[in-house]
Amino acid sequence: MATPILATKLYAPPPRPEVVPRARLTERLNEGLDRRLTLVCAPAGFGKTTLIGGWVAGLPRPAGWLSLDEADNDPARFLAYLVAALRTVAADIGEGVLGALGSPQPPPTEAILTVLLNEITTVEDDLILVLDDYHVIDTGAVDDALAFLIEHLPPRMHLVIATREDPNLPLARLRARGQLLEVRAADLRFTPSEAAEFLKGVMGLSLSEEDIAALESCTEGWIAGLQLAALSMRGREDVAGFIRAFAGDNRYIVDYLVEEVLGRQPERVRGFLLKTSILERLSGPLCDAVTGQQRSSALLEALERGNLFVVPLDDRRRWFRYHHLFADVLRARMMEEQPDRASTLHRRASEWYERNGSPADAIRHALAAGDFGRAADLVELAALEMLGSSSQETLYRWLMTLPDEVVRARPVLSAYYAFTLFGRGDFEAVDARLRDAERWLDTEAETGVRREAPSVGMVVVDEAAFGSLPGTISIARAYIAGARGDVRGTVKHARQALELLPEDDHLWRGAAAALLGIAHWTDGDLEAAHRSFAEGVAHQQIAGHTRFQIAGTHILADIRIAQGRLHEAVRTYEQSLRVATEQGEPVWGTANLYVGLSELHRERGDLRAAKQHLLRSKELGEHVGLPETRYRWYVALARIKEAQGDLDGALDLLDEAEIQYVESPDPDVRPIAALKTRVWVAQGRLAEALGWAREQGLSAHDDLSYLREFEHITLARVLLARYKSDREERSIHEAMGLLKRLLKAAEEGGRMGSVIEILMLQALAHEAQGDSPSALAPLERALTLAEPEGYVRVFVDEGRPMAGLLSEAVAHGIMPDYAGRLLAVFEAETHKSEDESHLPNALPARSVIEPLSARELEILRLIAQGLSNRQIGERLFLALSTVKGHNRIIFSKLMVGRRTEAVARARELGLL
């Protein structure tokens, strides 16, 4: 259940026609526009929202506005509303981010914010965003998200926070940097002249200067206190006597004045105020339903005209809210006077929201009413749409709020509870919830053995879900097995699910077939994997879940790539892209399709198209999609950097990919650590490459499996590099023996993508031994397999040794057209490399052992500026360990041991 964006939360309160001008504060707020953050912090009733609302109304361009509430403690919901608020002033911002938040498991918050910040930088005009009522936020994850946003805020964006208390943000650091403007209670208090203007001009009272001075002194300029006092004085004869009796701190003033205000209202109005105090938002029809009265719309408009702390939430005056201070006191009065009525009022609100299509609000009021049975009924009906979406955290909170005995009596709800626990890694808790569900079934989902169900007490609201429950539980157990690496268990439970699920339950049958396909993929049975996963996609399409087809495309394409069938992989992505674009707007997961196409275009030698697809992915939000695909954007760009010769840049991106990687049932057939090792081999960093092999426990004599095939091929590359380095015969013999066994296994498994690479490495191994004639046979076979599918980079990335072999192949008449095209790529890249070597930033080779890369030069300049390693990491968005690694390489190349020596040496060489 995707909660719709409430437009009322994005509505800046309009300035009232009669308001006290506060030029001194408006000027201060204008001064803050040159800083990152303006913090308006004061207790309730000091006019924070009114001040900011009037200020933004007078700005030359609109500002984004977000009124926060307690539900925004859900990080996904907070981010969704944050983007929605920005889109009110910059409509093109955040489209991909919203897609990411709608994914089954959204990516990390910092990844989402990075995409959002990149999009904000493209906005040409100044951008202001107001977060009102931030004091309702008490979740560290939201605080961390906002801190990250502030730390990396683009220069043309300004953030304003209104709150009753200091937020848990790095305020001290912002103060020290001069990036924070603060407006506090002392600034917001009415001055004597402002108090006089308010009481006379706005509230329409005729008071002496002495009376005004007494009120201003007693309230200390507290605006809400003055307003409540003015309301209390209307119609009084002894105003001076009232003012003399008026004393106490804010809490007692509020209690006293609200009682005065309420006591002076007609009984119908007073009852209306108390009953509707339970509502966060007020509309005429909703208030009619809750109070049992009629004409609530007219009454709300009258209350607003009478300055009775009613704030409009839209331009048409259909939705309102009470001033928070006023609402707090009204609720307290309600609980004192009619404590038994609150649950009835909440229940009426819940029923109204249910009838009007807002299940989230219906559930919230049912929980507030303590009507846990009704709440559980509503949650059960809403849960399926919330599972695997950004609303899953809200679902988890609701289930946590419900009494355990209520959940345990509902088998469908117990099973859904288990699914919400998957991402938390507590599989014991998952199993307990599954057993709670199973005890109500006549047939136990796991064993198929009949058991006696409890005779009374079971509650089922969603009968269709209950009918599918045995199969649903089996799917949950299949997922658990897959996450634990238990392939047999995954297959067992997935097949059992298909046997138990009704034929027309396409949603869950699709999930079972997909899990079965992933298990086959892990085992290396690629054709069975593709067949089963495609069946799962077909079921999901019938069920109307188009996004599942798009999300699963990368698995179908990866299987075809492993089989060496690049054309089919391209068609798979293009077909899904057509489906996605037919929806009228980018569908969740669309960005992943562009990442996949980028990888294929890179392999086929079109680096320009590969980069364009990644840019398109970034425009949509390159992180949109399942957690197991998020890291691929970084891997794809790293491979492009590698093809362009920027090996340091490739390693930086692979470091980021490691951070983004998330464990899942999908097999990790191309581990990032192995990709990094291949880059180390290309850089000549043999020690690091050998260290990786030791850490992974790899040897040339291991038993082979598809799951580790990529790692063993990488090991063969390391052994070849060691042979070239030390000419030790053992290394080349181990490499040749390993490649022979790998070739046999890959051929038997139909993994022609691996076969092509292994044959090519066999050719290079012969070449390394000086036996070029023996190299031509495996090379010819590799070319024969690769040519129909258009492979390029698998050969070109091997550099000069491969270019030499291809030249010999042409000379011997072996695939002359194809080998000639590959040689043309080599020649083009050689000329480009020679041209770039004359760039002014290139370090003369004679000055140091090895030239510094562009990234190393960038870090060196920051070192010279006196930045610490941590500050450099923050500036360049690099992990601390990555910065330290660059430092070691820089020091090595400059032949120095310390930062100061590196700076001095760089100045000698003219680098700084």
Tokens of 44: 């309730």
Q: Do 267-339 and 546-668 agree at the fold level? A: no
More confident residue, 482 or 586: 482
Cβ atoms within 10 Å of 824's Cβ, excluding its own: 11
Amino acid occupying residue 23: A
The answer to whether residues 444 and 463 touch, using CB atoms and an 8 Å cutoff, is no
Question: What Rg do the C-alpha atoms of the chain give, in angstroms?
Answer: 34
Collapsing DSSP to helix, strand or coil, 526 comes out as helix
Average pLDDT on 540-544 reads 83
Tokens of 119: 């999009």
Closest CA to 863 of 896, 814, 820: 896
H helix runs in 306-368, sequence order: 324-337, 341-355, 359-368
Is the predicted pLDDT of residue 251 greater than 60, yes or no?
no
Q: Which residues contact 243 (CB under 8 A, 6 or more apart)?
A: 211, 214, 215, 218, 229, 233
Cβ atoms within 10 Å of 659's Cβ, excluding its own: 13
d(CA 473, CA 493): 9
- Residue pLDDT, tens place only, 711-730: 999 999 999 999 998 888 99
Closest CA to 761 of 737, 791, 730: 737
Confidence band, pLDDT 50/70/90 cuts, at residue 586: low
Q: For the chain, what is the mean pLDDT?
A: 85
- Beta strand pairing status for 157-163 and 37-41? parallel
- Residue pLDDT, tens place only, 231-247: 777 767 777 777 776 65
What is the spatial order of strands in the sheet that 180-184 belongs to?
64-67, 127-132, 157-163, 37-41, 180-184
Confidence band, pLDDT 50/70/90 cuts, at residue 636: very high
Is the predicted pLDDT of residue 370 greater than 90, yes or no?
yes
More confident residue, 231 or 744: 744
The answer to whether residues 370 and 343 touch, using CB atoms and an 8 Å cutoff, is yes
Amino acid occupying residue 700: A
Is the predicted pLDDT of residue 101 greater than 80, yes or no?
no
Is the predicted pLDDT of residue 849 greater than 70, yes or no?
no
Of 59-63, 477-481, 630-634, 658-662, where does mean pLDDT reach its minimum?
A: 658-662
Highest mean pLDDT (candidates 333-337, 412-416, 546-550, 833-837): 412-416
- Residue pLDDT, tens place only, 409-427: 999 999 999 988 886 767 8
HEC readout, 416-458: HHHHHCHHHCCHHHHHHHHHHHHCCCCECCCCCCECCCCCCCC
The class of domain 403-544 in CATH terms is mainly alpha
d(CA 626, CA 394): 19
Closest CA to 712 of 731, 732, 697: 697
HEC readout, 806-843: HHHHHHCCCCHHHHHHHHHHHHHHHHHHHHHCCCCCCC
Average pLDDT on 258-279 reads 85
Is the predicted pLDDT of residue 453 greater than 50, yes or no?
no
Is the predicted pLDDT of residue 881 greater than 80, yes or no?
no
Average pLDDT on 186-190 reads 85
Tokens of 733: 């013999």
Collapsing DSSP to helix, strand or coil, 163 comes out as strand
d(CA 339, CA 369): 11
d(CA 166, CA 41): 7
Of 224-238, 440-454, 898-912, where does mean pLDDT reach its minimum?
A: 440-454
H helix runs in 700-728, sequence order: 709-726
Find how far residue 899's CA is from the centre of its chain.
37
Q: 455 φ, ψ to 5°?
A: -80, -25
d(CA 51, CA 54): 5
Closest CA to 315 of 57, 9, 11, 6: 11
d(CA 230, CA 700): 88
Average pLDDT on 838-866 reads 62
Amino acid occupying residue 650: A
Cβ atoms within 10 Å of 417's Cβ, excluding its own: 28
Of 444-448, 735-739, 852-856, where does mean pLDDT reach its minimum?
A: 444-448
Report the CATH architecture of 854-908: Orthogonal Bundle (1.10)
Which DSSP helix (H) or strand (E) runs through 39? Answer: strand 37-41
Report the CATH architecture of 267-339: Orthogonal Bundle (1.10)
pLDDT at position 841 is 39
d(CA 693, CA 575): 39
pLDDT at position 356 is 94
Tokens of 250: 């804010």
Its sign, for the CA torsion 800, 805, 811, 815, is: negative
Distances (CA, A) of 641 to 652, 675, 691: 10, 13, 24
Q: What DSSP character marks residue 200?
A: I
Tokens of 492: 């067992």
H helix runs in 552-621, sequence order: 553-562, 566-581, 590-603, 607-620
Is the predicted pLDDT of residue 167 greater than 60, yes or no?
yes
Is the predicted pLDDT of residue 455 greater than 50, yes or no?
no
d(CA 282, CA 280): 7
- Residue pLDDT, tens place only, 355-369: 999 999 999 999 999
- Residue pLDDT, tens place only, 661-717: 866 778 889 999 999 999 999 999 999 999 999 999 999 999 999 999 999 999 999
H helix runs in 209-340, sequence order: 209-219, 223-233, 239-244, 250-263, 267-276, 284-291, 296-305, 324-337
pLDDT at position 741 is 98
The single residue listed with the structure tokens 């004869």 is 237
Of 420-424, 572-576, 824-828, where does mean pLDDT reach its minimum?
A: 420-424
Confidence band, pLDDT 50/70/90 cuts, at residue 855: confident
Q: How many CA atoms lie within 13 A of 283 on its CB side?
A: 12
Task: Give the total residue count for the chain.
Answer: 912
The answer to whether residues 520 and 482 touch, using CB atoms and an 8 Å cutoff, is no
Amino acid occupying residue 147: A
Average pLDDT on 734-754 reads 97
Of 2-11, 288-297, 308-317, 844-853, where does mean pLDDT reach its minimum?
A: 844-853
Amino acid occupying residue 754: S
Q: Which residues contact 814 (CB under 8 A, 6 or more apart)?
A: 776, 779, 780, 783
- Residue pLDDT, tens place only, 51-79: 999 999 889 888 999 999 988 998 888 99
d(CA 125, CA 505): 51
Confidence band, pLDDT 50/70/90 cuts, at residue 380: very high
**Packed helices 140-151 and 109-120: angle between N→C axes, nearest 10 degrees:** 30
Which DSSP helix (H) or strand (E) runs through 571? Answer: helix 566-581
Cβ atoms within 10 Å of 788's Cβ, excluding its own: 12
Average pLDDT on 484-489 reads 87
pLDDT at position 444 is 45
Domain ranges of the chain: 7-188, 192-263, 267-339, 403-544, 546-668, 854-908
The answer to whether residues 415 and 472 touch, using CB atoms and an 8 Å cutoff, is yes
- Beta strand pairing status for 180-184 and 157-163? unpaired
Distances (CA, A) of 237 to 171, 242, 246, 457: 49, 9, 15, 65
Strand partners, 38: 160, 181
Confidence band, pLDDT 50/70/90 cuts, at residue 252: low
pLDDT at position 499 is 92
Q: Which residues contact 888 (CB under 8 A, 6 or more apart)?
A: none
Tokens of 685: 């960093």
The CATH number given to 7-188 is 3.40.50.300
Cβ atoms within 10 Å of 687's Cβ, excluding its own: 9
d(CA 91, CA 279): 31
**Packed helices 140-151 and 75-87: angle between N→C axes, nearest 10 degrees:** 40
- Residue pLDDT, tens place only, 612-621: 998 888 777 5
Is the predicted pLDDT of residue 509 greater than 70, yes or no?
yes
Confidence band, pLDDT 50/70/90 cuts, at residue 501: very high
More confident residue, 858 or 671: 671
Amino acid occupying residue 806: L
d(CA 105, CA 114): 17
Amino acid occupying residue 407: V
Could you say which of 3.40.1170.60, 3.40.190.10, 3.40.50.1370, 1.25.40.10 is the CATH number of the domain covering 546-668?
1.25.40.10
